[in-house]
Structure 1
Amino acid sequence: MKTLYDVQQLLKKFGIYVYVGKRIWDIEVMALELDHLHEARVITDQDFMQAKLVLNHEHRIEVQKTNE
Structure 2
Amino acid sequence: MNNLYDVMQLLKRYGTIIYTADKKADLHLMEEEIRELYRLQFITAKEFSSALLILRSEQNKI
The verdict on a shared fold, with TM-score over 0.5 as the criterion, is: yes
Aligned residues: 62
Q: In the alignment, is residue 53 of structure 1 matched against residue 56 of structure 2?
A: no
CA distance in structure 1 between the partners assigned to 2:35 and 2:20 by the alignment: 18
For structure 2, the residue ranges without an aligned partner over 5 or more in a row are: none
TM-score, with length taken from structure 1: 0.88
Question: What's the CA shift string for 1:3-50, capped at 9, x where partnerless?
Answer: 110000000000000011211110110000000000000100000000
CA distance in structure 2 between the partners assigned to 1:4 and 1:27 by the alignment: 9
Match of 2:9 in 1: 9
Runs of 4+ in 1 over 3 A off after TM superposition: none
The percentage of aligned residue pairs carrying the same residue is 35
Supply the RMSD in Å over aligned alpha carbons.
0.5
User: Aligned partner of 1:23: which letter?
Assistant: K
Higher CA-based Rg = 1
For structure 1, the residue ranges without an aligned partner over 5 or more in a row are: 63-68
TM-score, with length taken from structure 2: 0.97
